[in-house]
Amino acid sequence: MGPQTVFRRCAAGRANGHATGRATVFTAARGCAVLRRMDRTNGLAHEPPAAYPTVPHRPPHVPAEEAESRARAFHDVMARRRTVRDFSARPLPDGVLEWAVRTAATAPSGANVQPWRFVVLTDPERRARLREAAEAEEREFYGRRASDEWLDALAPLGTDWRKPFLETAPAVIVVFEVHKGPETPRPYYTKESVGIAVGLLLASLHQAGLATLTHTPSPMRFLNEVCDRPPEERAAYVIPVGYPADGARVPDIRRKDLEQVMVRL
């Protein structure tokens, strides 16, 4: 007896006056589910790529009695992380940026496409170009594009269109989302994947004793030219990295209590 079709879904469309689309056919054979996609234009079956081979999972061993203390110790370190706008010219230790980016690239991503690119700017001339272009956009943002509500929210933080940290920080990491292009696959959940990676990047840099700032000029299209990136890459974050300047100050703010951010059901 042949395989039994248990479900069929068709996505129909039109192109050049002819009906087109793909039918997804789920079949059950020899006790396992098999997914086939039938191309309506030629009736040929398209088999999905083979599954990845598997390897044993080797998580770090943490005794149960140490789990809470380790989680709390990590919290205590991360609770001291602050956004810094005043950077020292002190050089960064060799290798720290590379290891931080390696850590960021361990983030989970939709379909394991890993849709990120980390462009590290350390050349002073390149960072000067970045600042000039970013401040041009920010003057427009603060002068015309931003709503009064948004400007009121920013006012207590003391920010404006001036971005000297793009030059004073010894390094700036520009994070790009990598979208479908001639040599890159279609990504899935791109913003979510890149956002998780950036969180790991910030944590890694903080663990190394460095300060950061997440800057998101709007719009960011100019960053492709500054960073020599192709159009399928879209800038998402600009992150100055360095040691805080002597006497650097930050706003006296507090984070929300656990009861305000966590719901247990």
Please say whether the beta carbons of 119 and 176 come within 8 A: yes
Residues 19 and 124 in one domain: no
Residues 86 and 195 in one domain: yes
Q: Average pLDDT of 130-153?
A: 90
The answer to whether position 61 is within a domain reads no
Q: What is the pLDDT of residues 191-238, one digit of tens each?
A: 999 999 999 999 999 999 999 999 999 899 999 999 999 999 999 999
Residues 42 and 111 in one domain: no
Q: What is the pLDDT of residues 29-51, one digit of tens each?
A: 444 444 455 555 566 677 788 88
What is the domain count for the chain? 2
Local confidence band at 259 (pLDDT 50, 70, 90 cut-offs): very high
The answer to whether position 179 is within a domain reads yes
The answer to whether position 66 is within a domain reads no
Answer whether residue 106 shows pLDDT above 50.
yes
pTM for the complete prediction?
Answer: 0.81
Residues 163 and 40 in one domain: no
Question: Domain range for residue 225?
Answer: 82-248
Residues 102 and 38 in one domain: no
Answer whether residue 138 shows pLDDT above 50.
yes
Residues 27 and 151 in one domain: no
CATH of residue 157:
3.40.109.10
Residues 107 and 221 in one domain: yes
**68 burial via Cβ count (<10 Å: 0-12, 13-18, 19+):** exposed
